[in-house]
Each structure stands twice: as C-alpha cells, then as structure tokens.
C-alpha cells in the first residue's frame, strides 16, 4: 500500500548547466531488422511480466472460493460473472467512479497548469528567491509522505474541507514533482525563441501559451499520465477525508467491500482491481507515444 | 552573489526563531486527558440525527438494525457510514486529531484503551447500560483504569478446530478438561496414526501470534501486568512458551504455512487441527464443499490452573464531541438488547457479547455455537492499556524467535519485557 | 522565427531595465498560483511534522497538540539507538545496493533488446513491460507467493527438475530479502525500460556503423559508444530508482510483513508501524532521517554521474 501521494520523481537534476545542443540527426533504431531470438527472449520476459495481470483478469471471472485454493490454479473451473454483478449492482459504482474521475482529472489539469507556469518561471525567468523556491520544491519531494498525514488533515479540517471533493483535490493541486519535470524540460528549450518573441512585442502570457506550451507537449503528456495514475490509485487520503460514503473514491470502496474482519472476498477484489485499472491503461495507451519522447527530453537535458 | 549568502543567513535565523517560538508554546500540563465521570442520559425516545461508523463488509449490515431503531424512535435518524477494516485505526486516530469524529463508532477491542487515552471517548452512563449482562472478558475490554468507555457489541473466542475423522482413525479424542500435554498427544496422534501431515497448526510468531500463545500462559496462571510494570519473564510465561515452541521443534506444527494454506490444508487432511475463532465456521462451510461439515468438530481449550481462552470482538464507543450524546447512547443501548444481538448473529455471524442472548434460538441449540458460548465463560482479553498494540510487538517477536529456534524462552521473554517496560503504559 | 539582430549575443543579460522589472513581476505572477497552494498544503504540513519530530507527540496528545514536551533531539537519538531501526536501515541499504543495479541492468538489457529493430508489436511490448507497474499489488503478491511456494511453486518445481531441493523462500531469514529484491526488480523494470528506450534513441547509428567497420564487436560498441552517450539517462534512472527503493514498503508489507525475524523490515515500514502505534513524533523523526539519507544519496549520485561538460 503506497501511502505517498506524489508520483516518483522522474528527474532530480539540480544542475544549472546550459542545455546541451541536441543532435539534429534522425533518431534511428539499431539494425534494420531484429534477430528472431530477440523476439523470443523478449516475449518470454513479457509472459513473466504480464502473468499477474492475467491472473487478475482471469480471477475476476472466478468465484471467491476458487481463488483461495492452495495451490492456486490458472484456468477458471467455474467461470462466473457474479463478481462483476456484485461490483456494479451492490456497490454504488457510478458514484465512486464519478468521485475518482473528478478528483483525478482535476488534480491532473491543475498540475499541468500550475506546474508548467512555475516550471517556466524557474527555467527561463530570473527573479529573486528563485533558488529558494526551487530548493523548497526539491526538498518536499524527498519527504516520505505518511508523516504529513495528520497535520494535513488537521489543516483541511480547519478549512472546512473535510468530506468534500475539494478536500480531496486541493492538497495535491500543486505537486512538486510536476514543477521539476516541467522545469527540466523547458530549460532545454532555446532562449532565443523567447527573446525574439519579446522583441516582437509579445506579452509574457502569450509567449507562454503560444510558444512554450506547444513545445512542451511530450512533458505535459508525461506529467498527465503519471499524475493521473497516482491520483486515481490514491487510497489513504480519500479514506481519511471522507466521512460519508457518497464521497468515497473507487479504491476506498473496493477496500471496504472486499475485506471483512476475518475474511476477504478475492473475487470481488479482482473484479474491482480490473475495473480500476482500465481508465489508467486507457490514459496510458492514448498518451504513451508522447510519453517516450517526453522522458527522453527530460532525461537528456 | 554576496547578498544571497546574507539573505540565506537571515532566512535561517528567522526560521529558527520562529520554530523556537512555536515550540516554546508547547508544554504538557498535568491535567488528565481522559474524563472519568459518566454523565446521565435523558429518558424517553431518541431524537435527532447521529452518524455511526461501522467497519468492513460486516458493517454493511448495520443499516438494517439501524432501521429498526428508527422505527422505534420516529424522531431519530441514524446515518451509517462503513469504513474499510484495514485502515480503520488510522482513520479514527486522524479523525480524533482533527476533531472530525462521528457520534458512534465500532472499534477493535485492542484499540479502545488507546483512544480512551486521547480523551475523545465519553464514559459509559452506568444508569443506562448494565455491565453485568455482558461476558466478563468482553466488558473488561471497555474498562480503562476503572472507568468504562463504550459497550461491547460482539465478541469472539478461540477454540480448537479438529478433524473428527482423522482423530477417529488415530483413536484419539479430546476430552473436557484435558491438559496441555493431552492436547499435544492428541495432535501427535493424528499425525502418527491419523494420516495428517501436521498434527496442529499454530502461528509461529508474526503479528497477532500473541493471541494464540497467551491462552496457554493464562492457563498456567500468568499475569501480564505486575503493578505498574509488565511481567513477561515469569515462570508460567516461560513454561507456556516452551510448550508452544515444542510443537514446532517436534515437528507437530509447520513453520512456513502459505497464505490460505491453513484452510486448504485442513480441508484436504494435511492439517489435523488449528486454533481459531467463530469466523472459521463460515469459511470452512464455504470452502469445504459438500459433506465437509461432518468431518470436523470443536474442542475446548486445555485446562491447567484454568482453561482460559482469548476473547476479542468489537466495542461501540460514543465520542465526547458528539452533538447528540443522548441519542448516541440510546442507540448503543439498543444494540446491546437481546433481540438486536441475536439479529446481528443472524445477519453477520458475529457472536453476541450479551450473555442472555445465548439463551434462545440457534445460539442455544447449535452444538458448535454452544461450544463457543461455554468457552466465553472463561476467556481473557488483552490488558486494557493504551500502548498494548505496541507492547504486543516485542512479545510477537519473542514468540517468533523461540518458535523458530533462534532463542530460548528466558532470553526472549526477558528481552520482550525490557522493551515493553521501556514503552510503558502510555500515560 | 524572428531574427536575432536585436540581441547579437544570445544569452547575455543585457536587457533594458524595464524588461528586467517586467521579468521579475512576471516571474512572481507565474509562480503565484502554485506557491499559494504549495505553501499552504505542502510546506505547512511538512514544517509542522518536522517540528513535531522534536516533541514527544503521541496519540494521546492529538487533541491538544501544543500540550507536548519539547524533547529536542531525543527522538533522533532514540532512533539511532533503536536496534530495530538499525536493522531496518541495514535492510533498506541492502535492498538499495542490490536492487538498483539489478533493476537497471535488467531494464537496460530489455531496452536494448526492444531497440534492436523490433518493428512489429512495439506498442504491445511497451505496454506489456509497463503492466506490472500499474497492476494491483494484491494480484502481484498472490502470483509471486504462488511462484515461491516451497512445495508446489514453479520456482521450486523447476529446481526440482535439476535435482535441487528448493528452500522455503519467503520464510528463510537469508533468502526472503533476495526474493523481494528480485520481485521488485521485476515490478519496477518497466518504468526504467521506457526511460532507457528513449535514451537509446540518442545514440546515432552512424557511430555504430563506423565502429563495426573498424572491427569493434557488439559488446565493445555497447561499452564505448552506447553507455557513455546514455550517461544522463542512466543518471536519471539511477536517481529515480534509488529514491523509490529507499522508501520501499509495499513489497514487504504484502509479502512477508517484515519477517521472518525482521529481515525484510524496511525503514519506511518501521516508520509506518510506529505511526500505527501512535508514536507520531518518533515516526516523524525517523521519516526525516530517511529524508536526509535520500538527499545525501541524490547529491552523491549527481557528483558521480552528473554531466562534466
């Protein structure tokens, strides 16, 4: 159970060296065609990796009893839709899904906007206190998450945001990880672009919107995927903040219904886990082309 | 730049000063945290709204019983919120910290004293709830230093589940009042002559193993607390631990059972017996399949000085900050009435904490249930000390070390006692 | 693109004063939304928890958090003299020292493999290797426990075919940790594969071709061309993995609960336990010790692997 609420940092580069000139050659792949044995090895590795996911998927169609057999079997002996039936009828699935979606999307959008703004400021503008801000952002990124749970909850309670969607959203709208990512990326963009635009008389906001942001698509896609993933799967904070079931998110609801005091309903847990994963995979699939490019940029810097 | 260095110094100085000021505002006064005076509850019907937290999948069923309360008290509304079992302790703790507690909540029996120490719990009104109607062990879980907080809702205790058919084959049988040595011989018998791979499965250390071990110590007459200190390194404790560990060293009990291996092992006959609570009845019914119910039975805890078992369960507490204290306590009282206690059993399978609820219905007639009811007459709970969960961890470690043969009972228990006493009682 | 005549020397900061002032103003405006939220919701709680670590705050104090004793560095001193904390620290170090190179090595191998002309199913492979990262830890735990089953698990069955009597992996005080390390490498590899794959795009084919004409074999080319060019990416991957692994928690939590005999207890897990016991200030102190370690390790990595030019 990951109790941290921030995505793992992609780049912890504190260096302020000037960006390396990027090679303008075509990024090419090694040889023309791959040897067949590479396919074999990779597929073998893939099978190993996809295993648990397959087990989860298959398991969601099996009755709970079957899943608890030791040793576990792979193929369903008695396939059933009961788990999904329970998931969608006994649980208030639409409400939980809605809450999870609203919270994850809001946090993702917020981070995309705020982090790119500050990232740009840190990367391309100069103003006093810049270093302090960056150090602060860096520092909080390395603090293990659990320890701030109680003070944060007390704060949120004093602000009257307990048991509300804003209470789930606000604490994570300004994520230090996003600032990092965007700063790294934007730093590698050439200064000349900005200066030229300024000379042409463009306002700062316009420079940001029409020049910087379009060039940042890969980094934004990366940030989008990772922020969405973490917010969607977040368990501990939504549990602590919610006081009534209408405000539960999917991970919290799943934990309730699949765990009793002395027993667990594995069938329901598998079905729920599959249902939870689907939006995340969808977001990943859609954005993953940009993703690869994105990490390349920040990695190379 | 020169100025940045100076700015940095200034900022650090300011921050330190601020921190010093903030911390200087701290200081504990000697006021007691927990309130010990119970206030009365008004007579008449309940009114207004209360929020109740229930735990886990079982909590889902509370809504039905709450509806009965609302029918009886038309002016009252009960809002039930179910929270997951796993993180419930953290959720309640953070809720207390921020003052966001509900009116009523279910809590695990081992958490009650810890939460009482925060001062967040309301003492039980003695005019409303009569302590003598509960099992002694259950009521004991609500008693902190002489004041009671909340009321027991459901209870559980541990018995020996064993394979009747394997025992028959081996020609061994448990008897009422059997000794600890009898139990060991029984297990060994099923292993040697009954076809079981393991005579009995006990927990070789790990979280919660103290619940399986302590009954044996209690049977020897062990007292965990001596005045203001913990007393782990005593003769009854050592003897019990040696006895417990001997199951592993003599190969009667496995040390590395896989998760789920207990149930499947018992069902397929690899394991002859194990110690557990009433919930396993349902699990065995689910997983055992057709006809398995005829193959197993329950035996009581062995008897030395006493035949004590462990008791746990769930308690209902009312929070101090509750805005509708009257209705909250009336609801708690409602849940402890015999019809509601029996209904809880029907809906969820949890055993009533009220003794008279066992006098009628299935609880009186079913022999398996009766076995639990009988054992509840001699069952102890963990000491109602705020730090018990933390203190239990070194005890679990000691059990693990001796069970796996990494240490001897005296050394391990002395170690655990030392750690326990450095943790203290938490006041 | 506009011409660069106005500022003949790119990068010099000789802009007119009004632009300078505007820049500062704009800088603050751009920073404001983030900072407003950040200071309130992140810096505030972090500061509070940091101060908390210098007191003796426990559950019994949560309703009156200011009524605690300031104990200075006692919590920190206690942590260092706490036998279990030291053990957890050692376990964490073991995990990181063994786990990071293993994960990086595997990911690099896979990335190189995926890069050598796999034209078909590229997306399929990418998604597949990333899947463990997003799969529920519960499903992962069930499958891995099955794999490592002493009697019927696949690992021991395979070992049985070559005549080796496989041990009880998760219950052995010496083998539990290596098992978890392998499992973590397996789980987190996908994340690094994607990073390294991108990094490999930087290496131009021409250099490889030139080198192979000169007679350099595949391994030599890898060592002297690919690896050096990938240095920034490797640094990246190393730092990311190291930070994550220093805080590893999930794997022991679901697989071994820190056992057997605390051999798989990590610092983060121990902190979590203390938090569960209500020793909030002690948990905070341990968390900040971990923080300091993370910061130091990150800085060291930068010194060692950072860009020289």
Residue of B49, B53, B94, B197 for testing the chain A interface, max A β-carbons within 10 Å: B94
- Under the banding of pLDDT at 50, 70 and 90, the label for residue B320 is very high
Rounded-to-integer distance, Cα A120 and Cα B111, Å:
49
Q: Do the Cβ atoms of C257 and B206 come within 8 Å?
A: yes
Residues of chain C contacting residue B120, judged by C-beta atoms under 8 Å apart? 63
Closest chain C residue by Cα to residue B94:
C62
**Which residues of A fall within a CB distance of 8 Å from B261?**
70
- Check CB contact under 8 Å for B93 and C62: yes
The DSSP code for A209 is I
Q: Which of C43, C68, C136, C271 to substitute to test the interface with A, most A CBs within 10 Å?
A: C136
Q: What is the pLDDT of residue C89?
A: 93
* Maximum mean pLDDT: which of B56-65, B87-96, C186-195: B87-96
Count the neighbouring beta carbons within 10 Å of the beta carbon of residue C213: 8
Q: B329-353: string of b/e by CB count within 10 Å (b at 16+)?
A: bbbbbbbbebebbbbbbeebbbbbb
Determine contact, residues B155/B353, Cβ cutoff 8 Å: yes
pTM: 0.82
Q: Where are the beta strands (DSSP E) in B279-416?
A: 296-299, 309-318, 351-352, 379-380
Confidence band, pLDDT 50/70/90 cuts, at residue A290? low
Given C150, C260, C278, which is nearest B93 (Cβ)? C278
- Give chains near B: 3+ CB pairs under 8 A: A, C
CA–CA min distance A296, chain C (Å):
5
**Partner A contacted by B49 (CB < 8 A):** no
Residues B193-222: b if buried by 16+ CB within 10 A, e if exposed: ebebebbbbbbbbbbebbbbbbbbbbbbbb
Q: How far apart are CA C151 and CA C164, in angstroms?
A: 13
Residues of chain A neighbouring C119 (CB-CB closer than 8 A): 29, 33-34
| Nearest CB to C257 within list B19, B207, B387 | B207
User: Which of B288-297's residues contact partners 24+ apart within 8 Å by CB, and which partners?
Assistant: B292/B267, B294/B164, B295/B163, B295/B164, B295/B165, B296/B161, B296/B162, B296/B163, B296/B164, B296/B266, B297/B161, B297/B162, B297/B164, B297/B368
A72: pLDDT confidence band, cut at 50, 70 and 90?
low
More confident residue, C125 or C100: C100
Q: Which of residues 278-297 of C touch A (CB under 8 A)?
A: 280, 283-284, 287-288, 290-291, 294-295
Which of C40, C195, C290 minimises the CB distance to A295? C195
Rounded CA gap, B312 and B329, in Å?
Answer: 22
Domains of chain C, first to last: 2-52 (no CATH), 74-306 (1.10.3720.10)
Within an 8 Å CB–CB cutoff, is residue A2 touching chain B?
A: no
Q: Per the CB < 8 Å rule, is C290 touching A144?
A: yes
Q: Which residues of B touch A65 (CB under 8 A)?
A: 286-287
Which partners does chain C have (≥3 C-beta pairs < 8 Å)? A, B
- Band of pLDDT at residue B46, cut at 50, 70 and 90: confident
In chain A, which residue ranges form alpha helices assigned H by DSSP? 36-59, 64-67, 82-89, 93-124, 130-141, 149-158, 165-169, 176-187, 191-199, 204-207, 213-215, 217-233, 236-241, 250-258, 266-300
Asked which of A59-73, A238-252, B32-46, C255-269 is least confident by mean pLDDT, the reply is B32-46
Taking the C-alpha atoms of residue A178 and residue A149, their distance in angstroms, rounded to an integer, is 21
| pLDDT tens by residue, C25-69 | 888 999 999 999 999 999 999 999 999 889 888 877 777 777 778
Q: In this complex, do A126 and C24 lie within 8 Å of one another by their Cβ atoms?
A: yes
User: Is the ipTM, as predicted for this complex, more than 0.95?
Assistant: no
Q: Which residue has the tokens 């655990």?
A: B416
Task: Identify the helix (H) or strand (E) that includes residue B52.
Answer: strand B48-55
- If pLDDT is split at 50, 70 and 90, which confidence band does A212 have? confident
- In chain A, residues with a C-beta closer than 8 Å to the C-beta of C275 are 146-147, 149
Residues C290 and C284: their CA atoms lie apart, in Å, by 10
Report the chain B residue with the minimal C-alpha distance to residue A131.
B4
Q: Is the pLDDT of residue B32 over 50?
A: no
Task: Give the integer Cα–Cα distance in Å for B351 and B355.
Answer: 10
Q: What residues contact B235, with CB distance under 8 A and at least 6 apart? A: B220
Residues 100 through 159 of chain B touching chain A, CB cutoff 8 Å: 100, 102
CA distance A246 to chain C (A): 24
Question: Residues B158, B310: contact at Cβ < 8 Å?
Answer: yes
Query: Average pLDDT, stretch C176-180?
Result: 93
CB C60 within 8 A of CB B33: yes
Cβ contacts of A163 on chain B, cutoff 8 Å: 100
Inter-chain CB proximity B57 and A69 less than 8 Å: no
Among A123-132, B165-174, C202-211, the minimum mean pLDDT is found in C202-211
For chain A, domains (ranges, CATH) are 11-298 (1.10.3720.10)
Which pLDDT belongs to residue C16? Answer: 65
Q: Do C171 and B256 touch (CB under 8 A)?
A: yes
State whether C244 and A8 contact (CB < 8 Å): yes
Which position has the token pair 């979280």?
B207
What is the predicted pLDDT for the residue at A138? 81
């Amino acid at each position: 159970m990951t109790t941290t609420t921030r995505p793992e940092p992609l780049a912890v580069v504190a260096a302020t060296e000037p960006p390396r000139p990027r090679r303008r050659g075509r990024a090419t792949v090694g040889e023309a065609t791959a040897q067949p044995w590479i396919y074999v090895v990779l597929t073998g590795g893939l099978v190993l990796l996809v295993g648990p996911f397959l087990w989860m998927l298959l398991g969601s169609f099996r009755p709970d009893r079957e899943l608890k057999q030791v040793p576990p079997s792979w193929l369903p002996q008695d396939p059933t839709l009961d788990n999904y039936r329970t998931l969608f009828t006994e649980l208030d699935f639409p409400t939980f899904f809605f809450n999870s979606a609203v919270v994850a999307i809001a946090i993702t959008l917020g981070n995309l906007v705020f982090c790119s703004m500050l990232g740009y400021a840190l990367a391309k503008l100069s103003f006093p206190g810049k270093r302090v801000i960056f150090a602060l952002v860096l520092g909080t990124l390395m603090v293990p998450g659990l320890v701030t749970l109680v003070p944060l909850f007390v704060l949120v309670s004093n602000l009257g945001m307990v048991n509300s969607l804003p209470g789930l959203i606000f604490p994570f709208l300004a994520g230090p990880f996003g600032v990092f990512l965007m700063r790294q990326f934007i730093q590698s963009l050439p200064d000349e672009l900005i200066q030229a635009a300024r000379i042409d008389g463009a306002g700062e906001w316009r420079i940001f919107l029409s020049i910087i942001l379009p060039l940042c698509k890969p980094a934004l896609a990366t940030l989008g995927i990772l922020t969405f993933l973490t917010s969607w799967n977040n368990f501990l904070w939504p549990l602590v903040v919610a006081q009534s079931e209408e405000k539960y998110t999917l991970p919290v609801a799943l934990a309730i219904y699949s765990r009793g005091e002395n027993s667990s309903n594995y069938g329901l847990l598998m079905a729920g886990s599959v249902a939870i994963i689907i939006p995340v995979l969808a977001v990943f699939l859609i954005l993953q082309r940009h993703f690869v490019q994105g990490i390349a940029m920040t990695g190379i810097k | 730049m020169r100025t940045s260095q100076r700015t940095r110094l200034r900022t650090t100085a300011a921050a330190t000063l601020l921190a010093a000021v903030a911390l200087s505002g701290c200081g504990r006064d000697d006021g007691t945290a927990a309130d010990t005076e119970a206030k009365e509850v008004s007579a008449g019907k309940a009114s207004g709204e209360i929020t109740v937290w229930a735990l886990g999948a079982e909590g889902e069923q509370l809504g039905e019983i709450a509806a009965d309360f609302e029918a009886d008290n038309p002016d009252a509304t009960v809002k039930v919120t179910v929270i997951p079992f796993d993180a419930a302790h953290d959720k309640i703790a953070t809720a207390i910290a921020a003052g966001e507690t509900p009116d009523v909540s279910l809590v695990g029996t081992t958490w009650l004293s810890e939460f009482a120490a925060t001062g967040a719990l309301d003492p039980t009104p003695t005019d409303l709830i009569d302590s003598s109607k509960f099992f002694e062990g259950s009521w004991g879980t609500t008693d902190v230093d002489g004041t009671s907080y909340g009321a027991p809702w459901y209870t559980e205790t541990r018995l020996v589940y064993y394979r009747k058919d394997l025992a028959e084959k081996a020609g061994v049988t448990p008897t009422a009042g059997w000794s600890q040595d009898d139990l060991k011989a029984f297990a060994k018998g099923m292993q040697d002559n009954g076809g079981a791979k393991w005579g009995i499965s006990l927990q070789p250390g790990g979280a919660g193993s103290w619940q399986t071990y302590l009954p044996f110590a209690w049977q020897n007459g062990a007292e965990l607390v001596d005045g203001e200190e913990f007393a782990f390194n005593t003769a009854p404790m050592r003897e019990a631990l040696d006895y417990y560990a001997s199951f592993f060293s003599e190969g009667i009990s496995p040390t590395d059972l896989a998760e789920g291996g207990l149930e499947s092992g018992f069902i397929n006959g690899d394991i002859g017996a194990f110690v557990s609570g009433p919930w396993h009845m349902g699990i065995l019914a689910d997983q055992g399949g057709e006809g398995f119910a005829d193959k197993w039975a329950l035996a009581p805890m062995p008897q030395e000085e006493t035949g004590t078992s462990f008791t746990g369960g769930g308690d209902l507490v009312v929070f101090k900050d509750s805005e509708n204290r009257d209705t909250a306590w009336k609801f708690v009282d409602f849940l402890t009435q015999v019809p509601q206690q029996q209904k809880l059993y029907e809906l969820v399978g949890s055993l009533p904490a009220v003794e008279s609820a066992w006098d009628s219905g299935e609880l009186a007639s079913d022999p398996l249930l009766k076995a639990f009811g009988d054992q509840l007459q001699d069952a102890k709970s963990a000491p109602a000390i705020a730090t018990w969960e933390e203190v239990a961890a070194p005890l679990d470690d000691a059990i693990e070390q001796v069970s796996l043969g990494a240490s001897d009972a005296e050394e391990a228990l002395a170690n655990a006692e030392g750690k326990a006493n450095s943790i203290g009682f938490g006041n | 693109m506009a011409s660069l005549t106005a500022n003949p020397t790119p990068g010099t900061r000789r802009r007119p004063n009004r632009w300078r002032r505007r820049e500062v103003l704009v800088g603050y405006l751009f920073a404001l939304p983030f900072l407003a939220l950040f200071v309130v919701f992140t810096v505030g709680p972090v500061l509070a928890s940091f101060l908390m670590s210098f007191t003796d705050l426990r559950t019994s104090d949560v309703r009156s958090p200011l009524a605690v004793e300031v104990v200075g560095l006692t919590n920190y001193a206690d942590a260092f003299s706490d036998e279990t904390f030291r053990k957890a620290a050692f376990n964490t170090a073991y995990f990181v020292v063994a786990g990071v190179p293993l994960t990086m090595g595997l990911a690099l191998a896979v990335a190189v493999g995926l890069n050598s002309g796999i034209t078909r199913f590229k997306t399929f492979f990418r998604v597949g290797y990333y899947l463990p990262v997003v799969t529920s830890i519960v499903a992962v735990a069930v499958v891995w426990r099955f794999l490592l089953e002493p009697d019927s698990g696949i690992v021991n069955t395979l070992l049985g075919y070559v005549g080796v009597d496989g041990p009880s992996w998760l219950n052995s005080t010496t083998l539990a940790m290596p098992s978890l390390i392998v499992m973590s490498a397996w789980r987190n590899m996908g994340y690094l594969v994607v990073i390294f794959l991108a990094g490999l795009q930087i290496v131009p084919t021409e250099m490889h071709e030139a080198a192979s004409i000169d007679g350099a074999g595949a391994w030599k080319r890898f060592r002297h061309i690919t690896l050096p060019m990938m240095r920034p990416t490797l640094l990246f991957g190393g730092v990311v993995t190291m930070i994550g692994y220093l805080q590893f928690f999930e794997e022991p939590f679901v697989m071994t609960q820190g056992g057997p005999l605390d051999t798989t207890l990590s610092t983060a897990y121990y902190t979590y336990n203390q938090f569960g016991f209500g020793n909030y200030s002690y948990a905070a102190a341990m968390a900040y010790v971990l923080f300091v370690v993370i910061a130091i390790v990150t800085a060291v990595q930068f010194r060692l692997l950072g860009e020289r030019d």
